[in-house]
Chains A and B, each alone.
Chain A
Amino acid sequence: MIRFAGLGLINSLRNLNRSLMTLAAMAMAGLMMTASLSVQQGYPAGEAFTYRAFLGGDILIYPGRVVVEAAHLSQEDSTSWVWSRDAGELTGPLAYLHPEARHPGHVLPAGQSRELAQSARAYHDLIDRIKAVPGVMRVSPYWTIPVPVMYYGPPTDYTSPRPAYHSVLRARDVVAETELARLMSENELMVTGRYFRPEDDGQMVAVVDAGRRSFDGTDISMGQVLQILVPRPFRDQEGRTRLDYTRTVTVELTVIGTYVLPSRSIIWEVETPSGPATASEQLYFVTPEVIVPLGTMEKIVNLATGVTDMAQVLSPAAILVIVDNFGFVEAVASQLQEALPALSVTSVPREMVRTNLAGLPERIVEAPEDARPVLRPEDLLPGQWGRPIDVSPLLNGILFLVAALVAATNATILVLERRRELGVLKAVGARNQDIMVMVMTEVIVLAFTGATLGFLLVRLYGSAVLVTTGTSWRLIAQLAWKEWIMVLGVTGSVSLVFSLVPALSTLRMTASEVLRLQ
């Protein structure tokens, strides 16, 4: 029997030229399967790094349903999902990346408030549930309080008119979070002064965006003092966070640095007298935030309310999740979404692709309309986004079916073309199972070779992504091995099953019948 298997192997190599079609089909099937298994799980290490560093994590968790899923549209009871438009102020990622939450609003389940947690206990439970998801390294809540800034300027010059404006106080964990500090130092993004150091935690210091000047002329620099009015936060009877602006505490923060965040650029062609030339615009992610260390924010909230746990009176605007390995960020995001069905979970890179396509979050000034990377102009009307339906299992199934049929046709060609050879083998004493082994070996070799080719094409890219995220070679090899076995198993078994019919039909004939047919 082994001899016949060897014969099948030799045949498959000898007829490789003719079997190219099967190889191609199997390679495509293997490619699609590997792609659905590995490539969509993550990104290279540097993907959307500026946004990730500023937001403070790799995965965003929004309160409420920011993204609509197809199933939501099928609700029988039309009143269970209603159009909702926030009367209160939106801050944080929702304000920058989903301005449509304010105008014209979102479709949300009736009665659901846009709140991550309605009590301190619910908040800590939520954090614990997020941490329990495999692949989550750290959780970083996006704490914000909208505040009026009463004064900014030199610390001694309080007599000048008060240039009040509205801003947002935001906390960053300067001890645990090093990403933004690294981004700032590596790219020299501090315009004046410096970024936070761990020892700044709890100090009355702040870092602000220097890009504000181009928006409203607010010109803040290092050494200046910000005098802000912090409202008293509290939770109402329903557990929603409210801010009491009738009872405020005045806080003075010293600006230790100002920064800019160049996030992306737009390139387009212009006609000049000397011919076509390339023009570009550097875009900056500008926010109104006054960033303070987490310890400082806790101190300020304590001053305003007397509580030590901020979650007792506040809910974060969003939650950022830092994953162990960025190469698996999409896989972790899917698990988080499953664990938190009432919230919206999305990876930052995916969110930024979508957001950038809608012309957000940066202001585009110079680039002409047709050079702006936006969707159709009418899509610029703000609107809620839909999560694409995952049709890949269905389509992969169709692809596998077609690949299997191609394998079956190849097996048919194989036995049809070699009827005389098979007849001779039968005449000299080969049993049906021997011939079956020979044919099946050829089918399997082709299926495995094709599937491996497709697998390698995709997996090499996937492995390169993992290398950039610092994944160990051992883990990369383990993953590749697991996926390879899976791809080979599916393609091999599908080919075997579909090739049995034509092979058996030939085997049913006797040697004389086979030879006579020729």
Chain B
Amino acid sequence: MSRKQALRLTLLSFRNARVRVILLAALMVTGITGRMLYGYFFGHLVSQAAGKGETHRVQLVAILPPGRDIQQIIARHSARHGGMIASINGILSPVYTRVGRLEVLALDWEELTGKYPGVLRVTGRLPALPGEVALPQNLARAAGTGIGQHFQATSDPNLQQWVALEVVGIFEVNPQGNIPPTLLDRPLVSTASVSGPRNVGIVVSWTPPPTRLWAPGPAATPRQLAMQLRTMYNITYTTATAGFWGWDSLPVFITGDWARHVTTILSWNIYAEGSRILGVGYAFIALGIYSVLIIALISRRRELAINKTIGLSPRQLVFVFGLEVAAVSTVSFAVSTIAVSVLGNRVASVMGLESRVSAISVLQTLATMGTLVVMASIIPLAMAAAATVNQLLYGQKIYLFKRRVLLPVDGGGER
């Protein structure tokens, strides 16, 4: 039988089996929709939400536990790996005050405001001399103090030696600023006011050497740099003590990827749950396709028998059957892609995200469903090929493998 004849035969069989085709198409649509929802919708949400994080990108901020010096670490990194790291370093330390135990931040304010103008809206000025402090508006209000007045603080755990800092400025943090705004939302002092190693570093620029851009595992973004600093200098995230001792012993690198991080974990949860449920869904789909093909076989016994009688080989029968499945799958795939695009658009618009279908996800879907269809079709197609004309005409059982029948004959031999 020629290819043309096979195609014509397939078209004829379509006309004879509407319900079956509809069922098969519906199953395919369902399956593909599930796959698309999984791969496209959830994955898309994550990548877009991560993209939103980009708009909030800030420079790398490193906060180290007591005893670690950010200047030393950054200098060592630059010496070892080349490139340029420019950072503004300072000290973050806890003090007792009349409005709670707070962190005071000591930085070179001139340098910071030079690099990031407009990050603070200051009434008065920022501290430049020892014994001066600038307070956020809400803290100044709670402490009942103002410019020219005093703000008491001590780092002595016995609360014995208090220092009266002169309030020289009251400020608001500009939320559009490039520095994580709330890092600045605390009492600010000059670096001369606080002693000890510099445990805060704001990396304002990072230029990796060109050779590292294509080297394995290079640090080319602030996030990668943070990871590299953390692992190379053995600054582990000491989890238990983090909650236990508060800021005193928590080494942290903050990058602008916070939103990405949130959504990474969000997606992790979704993927874990989704893949578990969809695993069951795939089993269902395979089961459904299998059962539809079995119906196709049963309802067309007579037709198959005639085909076999007029000389179609098993391979040709499989070809006709397979062509039918392929045609239905392709049409269903097109319909479901459109359906998911419409559905995805609606869902994404509700979530404030933009809907896009990538060619890779469509191809992945096609490959997954193709594999499922092939797996589910193997047994019914093999049954159609293995059946004899008699089995088909008289409704006898069809065996996939030829059975050896042992008949006792006179003399005890086998036939």
Binding site for B on A (CB under 8 A): 21, 24-25, 28, 32, 68, 70-71, 73-76, 78-79, 82-85, 87-90, 95-99, 102-105, 107, 110, 146, 148, 150, 162, 164-166, 215, 229, 231, 236-238, 240, 242-248, 286-288, 358-364, 375, 378-389, 391-392, 394-395, 398-399, 401-403, 405-406, 408-410, 412-413, 416-417, 501-502, 505
| Pairwise interchain contact B158-A162, C-beta atoms closer than 8 A | yes
| Pairwise interchain contact B351-A384, C-beta atoms closer than 8 A | no
Q: Which 10 A-B pairs have the closest CB atoms?
A: A386-B266, A363-B240, A74-B352, A99-B242, A236-B142, A383-B261, A388-B269, A96-B243, A103-B252, A245-B96
Distance A388 CA – B96 CA, assembled complex (angstroms): 39
Distance A392 CA – B281 CA, assembled complex (angstroms): 12
Distance A28 CA – B278 CA, assembled complex (angstroms): 12
| Pairwise interchain contact B247-A246, C-beta atoms closer than 8 A | no
Distance A148 CA – B155 CA, assembled complex (angstroms): 11
Across-interface contacts of B63 in A (CB, < 8 A) = 103
Interface size on B, residues (CB 8 A): 97
Q: Which secondary structure characterizes the binding site on chain A?
A: mixed
| Pairwise interchain contact B158-A383, C-beta atoms closer than 8 A | no
Across-interface contacts of A379 in B (CB, < 8 A) = 261, 264-265, 268
| Pairwise interchain contact A385-B265, C-beta atoms closer than 8 A | yes
A246 CB contact (under 8 Å) in B98, B266, B288: B98
B23 at the interface (CB under 8 A from A): yes
B258 at the interface (CB under 8 A from A): yes
Q: Which residue of A lies closest to B180 (CB)?
A: A83
| Pairwise interchain contact A409-B295, C-beta atoms closer than 8 A | yes
Across-interface contacts of B214 in A (CB, < 8 A) = none
Across-interface contacts of A391 in B (CB, < 8 A) = 42, 270, 273-274, 277
Distance A97 CA – B242 CA, assembled complex (angstroms): 9
In the complex, how many angstroms separate the beta carbon of B181 from the nearest chain A beta carbon? 7
Distance A242 CA – B99 CA, assembled complex (angstroms): 5
Across-interface contacts of A238 in B (CB, < 8 A) = 138, 141-142
* Given the contacts A90-B246, A164-B158, A392-B277, A409 and B288 also touching, CB distance less than 8 Å: yes
| Pairwise interchain contact B37-A394, C-beta atoms closer than 8 A | yes
Distance A243 CA – B23 CA, assembled complex (angstroms): 70
Distance A103 CA – B180 CA, assembled complex (angstroms): 11
| 7 interchain pairs, CB-CB under 8 A | A103-B63, A103-B252, A105-B182, A166-B101, A245-B100, A246-B162, A379-B265
Across-interface contacts of B55 in A (CB, < 8 A) = 78
Across-interface contacts of B27 in A (CB, < 8 A) = 402, 405
| Pairwise interchain contact A103-B250, C-beta atoms closer than 8 A | yes
B353 at the interface (CB under 8 A from A): yes
| Pairwise interchain contact B291-A87, C-beta atoms closer than 8 A | no
Q: Which residue of A lies closest to B37 (CB)?
A: A394
Binding site for A on B (CB under 8 A): 19-20, 23, 26-27, 30-31, 33-34, 37, 42, 45, 49, 52, 55-56, 61, 63, 94, 96-103, 136, 138-139, 141-142, 152, 154, 157-159, 162, 175, 180-183, 185-186, 226-227, 230, 237-247, 250, 252-254, 258-259, 261-270, 273-274, 277-278, 280-281, 283-285, 287-288, 290-292, 294-295, 298-299, 350-353
* Given the contacts A88-B102, A229-B159, A388-B273, A360 and B141 also touching, CB distance less than 8 Å: no
Distance A83 CA – B180 CA, assembled complex (angstroms): 8
Q: Which residue of B lies closest to A29 (CB)?
A: B284
Distance A244 CA – B142 CA, assembled complex (angstroms): 10
Q: Which residue of A lies closest to B347 (CB)?
A: A394
Distance A450 CA – B350 CA, assembled complex (angstroms): 37
| Pairwise interchain contact B258-A83, C-beta atoms closer than 8 A | yes
| Pairwise interchain contact B99-A287, C-beta atoms closer than 8 A | no
Distance A384 CA – B157 CA, assembled complex (angstroms): 31
| Pairwise interchain contact A288-B245, C-beta atoms closer than 8 A | yes
In the complex, how many angstroms separate the beta carbon of A453 from the nearest chain B beta carbon? 15
Q: Which residue of A lies closest to B50 (CB)?
A: A73
In the complex, how many angstroms separate the beta carbon of B233 from the nearest chain A beta carbon? 15
| Pairwise interchain contact A82-B242, C-beta atoms closer than 8 A | no
* Given the contacts A89-B246, A146-B101, A399 and B299 also touching, CB distance less than 8 Å: no
| Pairwise interchain contact B254-A103, C-beta atoms closer than 8 A | yes
Distance A107 CA – B30 CA, assembled complex (angstroms): 37
Distance A363 CA – B180 CA, assembled complex (angstroms): 29
In the complex, how many angstroms separate the beta carbon of A508 from the nearest chain B beta carbon? 12
Known: A97-B243, A386-B266. 16 other contacts (CB 8 A): A28-B284, A70-B351, A89-B100, A104-B61, A243-B100, A245-B159, A247-B98, A375-B268, A383-B265, A386-B262, A386-B267, A398-B33, A405-B23, A409-B23, A409-B288, A409-B291
| Pairwise interchain contact B288-A402, C-beta atoms closer than 8 A | yes
Distance A231 CA – B175 CA, assembled complex (angstroms): 32
Across-interface contacts of B157 in A (CB, < 8 A) = 148, 150, 164-166
| Pairwise interchain contact B258-A358, C-beta atoms closer than 8 A | no
| Pairwise interchain contact B99-A382, C-beta atoms closer than 8 A | no
| Pairwise interchain contact B247-A103, C-beta atoms closer than 8 A | yes
Q: Which residue of A lies closest to B49 (CB)?
A: A73
| Pairwise interchain contact A104-B259, C-beta atoms closer than 8 A | no
Across-interface contacts of A242 in B (CB, < 8 A) = 99-100, 142
A245 CB contact (under 8 Å) in B26, B97, B186, B287: B97
Distance A190 CA – B72 CA, assembled complex (angstroms): 45
Distance A207 CA – B27 CA, assembled complex (angstroms): 64
* Given the contacts A96-B243, A363-B240, A386 and B250 also touching, CB distance less than 8 Å: no
| Pairwise interchain contact A360-B99, C-beta atoms closer than 8 A | no
A380 CB contact (under 8 Å) in B139, B237, B259, B287: B237
Across-interface contacts of A501 in B (CB, < 8 A) = 19
| Pairwise interchain contact B266-A68, C-beta atoms closer than 8 A | yes
Distance A385 CA – B268 CA, assembled complex (angstroms): 10
Distance A148 CA – B263 CA, assembled complex (angstroms): 38
* Given the contacts A245-B96, A245-B159, A402 and B281 also touching, CB distance less than 8 Å: yes
Across-interface contacts of B99 in A (CB, < 8 A) = 236, 242-244
| Pairwise interchain contact A148-B159, C-beta atoms closer than 8 A | yes
| Pairwise interchain contact B241-A363, C-beta atoms closer than 8 A | yes
Across-interface contacts of B139 in A (CB, < 8 A) = 87
Q: Which residue of A lies closest to B26 (CB)?
A: A405
Distance A105 CA – B246 CA, assembled complex (angstroms): 13
Distance A240 CA – B284 CA, assembled complex (angstroms): 55
B158 CB contact (under 8 Å) in A74, A148, A243, A402: A148
Across-interface contacts of A384 in B (CB, < 8 A) = 258, 261-262, 265
| Pairwise interchain contact A361-B243, C-beta atoms closer than 8 A | yes
| Pairwise interchain contact B291-A406, C-beta atoms closer than 8 A | yes
Across-interface contacts of A392 in B (CB, < 8 A) = 273, 277
- Most chain B CB within a 10 A radius of its CB, from A162, A247, A409: A409
In the complex, how many angstroms separate the beta carbon of B56 from the nearest chain A beta carbon? 7
| Pairwise interchain contact B180-A395, C-beta atoms closer than 8 A | no
| Pairwise interchain contact B185-A87, C-beta atoms closer than 8 A | yes
In the complex, how many angstroms separate the beta carbon of B267 from the nearest chain A beta carbon? 8
| Pairwise interchain contact B102-A364, C-beta atoms closer than 8 A | no
In the complex, how many angstroms separate the beta carbon of A363 from the nearest chain B beta carbon? 3
| Pairwise interchain contact B295-A286, C-beta atoms closer than 8 A | no
Distance A79 CA – B181 CA, assembled complex (angstroms): 12
B241 CB contact (under 8 Å) in A85, A215, A389: A215
| Pairwise interchain contact B239-A380, C-beta atoms closer than 8 A | yes
Q: Which residue of B lies closest to A98 (CB)?
A: B243
Distance A148 CA – B96 CA, assembled complex (angstroms): 10
| Pairwise interchain contact B280-A236, C-beta atoms closer than 8 A | no
Distance A73 CA – B102 CA, assembled complex (angstroms): 30
Q: Which residue of A lies closest to B58 (CB)?
A: A83
